[in-house]
Amino acid sequence: MPGGREATLVTELVSIAVSMVGAVVCVYFAASMLDPNKEDRKRKEKYVEALKKRLGRKINLTSMEIMLTDLVLNPREIDVTENDIKGQEALLEDLRLKVVYPLLLTDIYKTALLRQAKGLLLYGPPGTGKTMIAKALAQSSGCFFINVTASSILSKWYGDAQKYVKATWSLAEKLQPCIIFIDEVDSFLGKRGSQTEHEATLSVKTEFMQCWEGMETQKGQRILVMGATNRPDSLDPAVLRRFSLKYEIGLPDERQRAAIVRGYIEKHMQEATAVTGSMSSPLLDSRVVREGTSAIGWIARRTKCFSGSDLHELCAQAAQRPVQEAIK
């Protein structure tokens, strides 16, 4: 009988052990299924390895920083240059002096009066090229570009948003020189204290501002916060104060519209020539068409209140016409 009791005891112990292992396995798979970032994290870990190769140096990233790597653009991979910004020569020259050179010439820009700006705000109507200008500055200054949006920070998982804010700044510090670009910054750093604002959203804004302030007190940091907005009056006053440089990017005038249209057509012709071998466009010639003006001048005169984006769409529709006629 004692032998029988021992056998029963062993059987029970084995059963308990199997149950415990099964429970652990179930918990593991349940946790994996409930983790919304598992596959995303694996993919981004591979991206980090590629990022290290692009950097040419070893970089240690936290798990939160890894989750943000999709927001990073290497300056060598940015396909927008200052040459793509048409009709804004004076603005670009001013930005070179106040933004690009301070980021590059750190040995000079390090005194109390001569130092790098920590914040740059571009504001104006939609489609006027604010994001293009930001990318062109990153490309010309050799800065990594972290493209932040409200949705990329304000995570649906409670508590993650503040961690993402800290990770954004720590990632920028590791990648510097770096530009943190916030598109539609008013949706992320709008006025605080409204009755409809959630407490979690307010804490995220406060965290970002504290990180920004902390960066300003550290010498030698080559990090620039850039914001773009259509509604500068909706920004929190504390945010506006930190944007020490502010530029209005308005709708283009007639001269600028002509330069923009010519730029789009020239780029289209270059790309089309690479495909077809040769192509010509009467629009690029200074031919007089109507009212004693050139074709591009005639278009520019009749596109008042068009943004750069509107002009791009106009040129795109015009480029499709020959293809459509050839197909017919």
What DSSP character marks residue 129?
A: S
Q: Are 269 and 191 found together in one domain?
A: no
Residue 269 sits in the same domain as residue 124: no
Residue 27 has pLDDT above 70, yes or no: no
Domain match, 143 and 275 both: no
Residue 128 and residue 25 share a domain? no
* Residue 9 confidence (pLDDT) above 80: no
Instruction: Verify that 215 and 270 share a domain, yes or no.
Output: no
Q: Indicate whether 131 and 259 sit together in one domain.
A: no
CATH number, domain containing residue 157: 3.40.50.300
**Helix 254-276 with 308-327: angle, nearest 10 deg:** 40
Residue 269 — pLDDT band, cuts 50, 70, 90? confident
38 or 181, which is more confident: 181
Are residue 65 and residue 171 in the same domain, yes or no? yes
Nearest residue to 225 (alpha-carbon basis) of 235, 215, 238, 237: 215
How much is the average pLDDT of 96-113? 88
190 and 308 in a single domain? The answer is: no
Residues 264 and 237 occupy one common structural domain: no
Strand partners, 223: 178
156 and 72 co-located in one domain:
yes
Q: Are 48 and 190 in the same domain?
A: yes
pLDDT of 278 over the 60 cut = no
Q: Given this model, what pLDDT does residue 214 score? A: 85
Residues 25 and 150 in one domain: no
Across the chain, mean pLDDT equals 82
pLDDT bin (cut points 50, 70, 90) of residue 284 is low
Identify the residue with better confidence: 35 or 251. 251
Q: Which of 190, 222, 248 is the last residue of a domain?
A: 248
This prediction's pTM: 0.79
Nearest by Cα to 309 from 72, 77, 129, 148: 129
Q: Which of 206, 228, 248 is the last residue of a domain?
A: 248
Which residue, of 230, 248, 266, is where some domain finishes?
248
Count of structural domains within the chain: 3
Higher pLDDT, 96 or 23: 96
pLDDT digits (tens, 9 = 90+) for 40-98: 666 666 766 766 666 656 778 888 888 888 889 989 889 999 999 999 999 999 999 99
pLDDT higher than threshold 90 for residue 321: no
pLDDT at 282: 56
Segment 182-186 shows an average pLDDT of 92
The highest-confidence range among 65-74, 159-168, 190-199, 233-242, by mean pLDDT, is 233-242
Question: Residue 189 has what DSSP assignment?
Answer: S
pLDDT of residue 18: 61
The answer to whether the CB of 269 falls within 8 A of the CB of 142 is no
> Distance (Å, rounded) from C-alpha 227 to C-alpha 225?
7
Residue 274, domain extent: 254-327
